[in-house]
Chains A and B, each alone.
Chain A
Amino acid sequence: MSETTATSSGSVTGAEIRLENVTKQYAGQKVAAVGDLTLTIPAGEIAMFVGPSGCGKTTSLKMINRLIEPTSGTIMIGGEDSRKRSADELRRTIGYVIQGGSLFPHMTVAKNIALVPKLLGWDDDRIKKRTDELLDLVSLDPSRYRDRYPRELSGGQQQRVGVARGLAADPPVVLMDEPFGAVDPITRQRLQDELLAIQRELRKTIVCVTHDIDEAIKMGDRILILQEGAQVAQYDTPEVVLGSPANEFVEDFVGSGSALKQLSLARVDEVGTFPQTTAKIGESSAEVIQRAQAAGHRSVVVLDERNRPVGWPWLRQLKGEKIVQSEHAPDAIDRRATLNDALDVMLVNGHGGAVVTDAGGAYFGVVDFTSVTDQMRAMQEKAHEVSNG
């Protein structure tokens, strides 16, 4: 599968990262924390580093922005040796996002995001514009959140600001260390989808450490599975890692249920979405019902002024004269969401389908249960073909 070409819309703004024979040996330890790691991460791709704890994945990540200096070996970013510049200068050109967002509690959201641009000496107007732009990008209303302090935000919102801060100075490379480790599963899934949507636009080179193989499969263009001492067990696309694990270690690590895990490989927009009748808040209900019936739809998706879905009522629920805001916004999924996530949402909402959104949370279409199951069948047949010949 060549998703990077099939679903990309932005042009690549990332830079290639190359690790050549990188070793980290701590004094007084027999075994190297990272031993002779050689790796190329192509520009504009997401590389997921996974492995058991203590395998050296975080050490490898931190060597890229020189939070840890390699004992030997070279790291090239965009063809340039990372030691050519001072460590501080280098780090200002590499986004860094860690678990929980790690926001500075004494600074407002805007100040947190503005840190690196400030260090780079941007003027105030440019910083303010950029801050608002980024808050929009991570689906936080700038006017509402700009002046809040981190403790006034939920965990998921803090993490969003953390991502915005990492992207603030538009760095070609972004490093993430267990970025979504501290939030609940539902928020995590949403944040993953958002990040994928953002990445579709920006095409940065993202290196992300995780201990969660499912996250790696979902997010990664490539997955690096590491054994102790950062020995590469396998470095390949999720499809290959799942379909033909390189050795027993990978097989164990990927775990059972790889057929189910395949669900994480297919994205909603590969299955295809259907248009659904939409309505704006404040429109006349009668007109909307007429429009839906003409199209043969039994429900309508209600959108707010920014085109984000805020309700998904059945026609019989449209009792008032005008369309009003529904009590619950539908659990929308990003169009890059996996079939796994899509099924999750469908199983609980009773519509036998799910509302799909595009970048920024704007309405995109609706995906239904039948097309998902069709896709699953097709994938299984294909997997059989591969394993039989």
Chain B
Amino acid sequence: MWDFIVERRSQLLINGFNHVYLVFLAVVFATIIAVAIAILVTRLPKLEPVANAVSAIGLTIPSFALIGLLIPVSKIGDGTAIIAVTFYAVLPILRNAVVGLQGVSPTLLESAKGMGMSEFTSLYKVRIPMAWPVILAGIRVSTQMSMGIAAIAAYVLGPGLGTFIFTGLTGYGGANAFNNVFVATVAIIVLALILDLLLIILGRLTISKGIRVA
């Protein structure tokens, strides 16, 4: 196994980097999309059940199926991989963002309004900073999940460690088949843990001391 890793170390590193990069891009897009939808939902409360239903149903769509559905639209390649991963990444963040934004006390918002803050100022000075810890918790869940889903995205020739897994699966029984799957899986787990650690650090840096837990 060790020889396997040493032989393919440059390929592993490149694919590992691409894997993380795919997840990073997807989570960034997902955060922007999710927060935007959540803001819309908090302004139009009627949309809330819709958003919740979509995020619940969305998670039940098998990722293979979604990729299959996307291929006719966005062709085989990186683009499809990013769209697919982003789709799943949105869901946990959306849920948390709605909860977080709605959790800001109406009294505080009225007091912001009473001081002469516009809707927009109140959003970026009060609402989002106060909802941020909850949103960030959603981002963490989303990142972990995306690391796994990104592996499947390799099916459409997307970048990442998933290619090792697929090589292993298609050549099952052959030499190194197990090694391919095993090494890539462990690498994904390790990278996921590192990303989570980075997000925790991001939280320490960006969550106001006034609302941080402990």
Residues of A within 8 A of B (CB): 65, 67, 88-93, 96, 98, 102, 104-108, 115-116, 119, 149-151, 165, 175
Q: Which residues of B contact A116 (CB under 8 A)?
A: 115-116
Q: Which residues of B contact A108 (CB under 8 A)?
A: 210
A102 and B108 in contact, given A91-B114, A107-B208, A115-B115 (Cβ under 8 angstroms):
yes
User: Among A65, A88, A96, A151, which residue has its beta carbon within 8 angstroms of that of B118?
Assistant: A88
Whole-angstrom CA separation of A105 from B105 in the bound complex: 11
In the complex, the answer to whether B113 meets A91 with C-beta atoms within 8 Å is yes
Whole-angstrom CA separation of A172 from B111 in the bound complex: 18
A-B contact pairs, 20 of them (CB 8 A): A65-B114, A88-B118, A90-B116, A92-B115, A93-B116, A96-B111, A96-B114, A98-B107, A98-B111, A98-B114, A102-B108, A102-B111, A104-B125, A105-B130, A105-B208, A105-B211, A106-B129, A106-B208, A116-B116, A149-B208
B8 within 8 A of A: no
- Produce 1/0 per residue, B113-138, CB < 8 A to A: 11111100100011001100000000
In the complex, the answer to whether A119 meets B117 with C-beta atoms within 8 Å is yes
Q: Which residues of A contact B116 (CB under 8 A)?
A: 88-93, 116, 119
Q: Could you tell me the distance in whole angstroms from the C-beta of A154 to the nearest C-beta in chain B? A: 15
Q: Could you tell me the distance in whole angstroms from the C-beta of A363 to the nearest C-beta in chain B? A: 35
9 tightest Cβ-Cβ pairs between the two chains A and B: A149-B210, A92-B116, A106-B208, A91-B116, A96-B114, A102-B111, A106-B210, A106-B211, A88-B116
A104 and B126 in contact, given A96-B111, A150-B210, A151-B210 (Cβ under 8 angstroms):
yes
Q: Which residues of B contact A88 (CB under 8 A)?
A: 116-118
Q: Which residues of B contact A106 (CB under 8 A)?
A: 129-130, 208, 210-211
Q: Could you tell me the distance in whole angstroms from the C-beta of A258 to the nearest C-beta in chain B? A: 35
Q: Which residues of B contact A105 (CB under 8 A)?
A: 130, 208, 210-211
User: Among B108, B110, B118, which residue has its beta carbon within 8 angstroms of that of A104?
Assistant: B108
Whole-angstrom CA separation of A351 from B113 in the bound complex: 48
B46 within 8 A of A: no
Interface of chain B, main secondary structure:
helix
Q: Could you tell me the distance in whole angstroms from the C-beta of A177 to the nearest C-beta in chain B? A: 9
Q: Could you tell me the distance in whole angstroms from the C-beta of A125 to the nearest C-beta in chain B? A: 21
Interface size on B, residues (CB 8 A): 20
Among A93, A96, A108, chain B packs the most CB atoms within 10 A around the CB of: A96
Whole-angstrom CA separation of A93 from B110 in the bound complex: 16
Interface of chain A, main secondary structure:
mixed
Q: Which residues of A contact B111 (CB under 8 A)?
A: 96, 98, 102
In the complex, the answer to whether A119 meets B115 with C-beta atoms within 8 Å is yes
Whole-angstrom CA separation of A383 from B130 in the bound complex: 55
Q: Could you tell me the distance in whole angstroms from the C-beta of B144 to the nearest C-beta in chain A? A: 26
Q: Which residues of B contact A107 (CB under 8 A)?
A: 208, 210
In the complex, the answer to whether B115 meets A96 with C-beta atoms within 8 Å is yes
Q: Which residues of A contact B118 (CB under 8 A)?
A: 88
Q: Could you tell me the distance in whole angstroms from the C-beta of A203 to the nearest C-beta in chain B? A: 22
Whole-angstrom CA separation of A339 from B129 in the bound complex: 46
B130 closest partner in A (C-beta): A106
Whole-angstrom CA separation of A331 from B13 in the bound complex: 71
Q: Which residues of B contact A149 (CB under 8 A)?
A: 208-210
User: Among B113, B121, B129, B211, which residue has its beta carbon within 8 angstroms of that of A67?
Assistant: B113
Whole-angstrom CA separation of A182 from B113 in the bound complex: 21
In the complex, the answer to whether A102 meets B107 with C-beta atoms within 8 Å is yes
Q: Which residues of A contact B121 (CB under 8 A)?
A: 119
Q: Which residues of B contact A175 (CB under 8 A)?
A: 114
Among B112, B114, B208, chain A packs the most CB atoms within 10 A around the CB of: B114
Whole-angstrom CA separation of A67 from B111 in the bound complex: 10
Q: Which residues of A contact B117 (CB under 8 A)?
A: 88, 115, 119
Whole-angstrom CA separation of A98 from B107 in the bound complex: 9
Whole-angstrom CA separation of A82 from B136 in the bound complex: 42
Whole-angstrom CA separation of A98 from B125 in the bound complex: 19
Whole-angstrom CA separation of A184 from B84 in the bound complex: 56
Q: Could you tell me the distance in whole angstroms from the C-beta of B17 to the nearest C-beta in chain A? A: 35
Given contacts A65-B114, A115-B117, A119-B121, 15 further A-B contacts (CB under 8 A): A67-B110, A88-B117, A90-B116, A91-B113, A91-B114, A91-B116, A96-B114, A98-B111, A102-B108, A102-B111, A104-B112, A119-B117, A151-B210, A165-B115, A175-B114
